[in-house]
Amino acid sequence: MEPVAPIAPIDLAAALASFTDRWSPRIVTTVNDYDVRVAKVEGEHLWHTHDHTDEFFLVLEGELHIALRESAGSGSGERTVVLPKGSAFTVPRGTEHKPYAPVPTEILLLEPTGTLTVGDQHEEIPAHVDATTGHTLN
């Protein structure tokens, strides 16, 4: 896929208004070798791991919970990070995680181009989750 190179500012509200699918991110632009994606999310995603990249989340509207399974050091175990509107969080590479949105939520993601939304390792993909590397914004 060719990189997205906008010639005008990107209106994120308009980008988000252009689709209704949940858990199906749209690529709004690229920065070097990274996609800037927006997504509408609600309910559960799935447990998954990105072996070779961190995953950045910014909550634009709503609230996102990210359950984490951490296995290194004194932070071993499972915990949940709650991100209200305006909050950002980076899931470190190799950390098993499961996003969940208790209310309709809009997020911005920053990931290397070609990164699958379901990671490199994952549980069975539910029908409401789009296993994609992002869709080009129309």
pLDDT (tens digit, 9 = 90+) per residue, 64-92?
999 999 876 555 689 999 999 999 999 99
pLDDT at 24: 95
The CA-based angle 129-108-24, given to 5 degrees, is: 20
Q: Which domains does the chain have, with CATH numbers?
A: 12-136 (2.60.120.10)
pLDDT at 118: 83
Q: Residue 62, by phi and psi: left (phi above 0), alpha (psi -120 to 50) or beta?
A: left
Q: Which residues of the chain have pLDDT under 50?
A: none
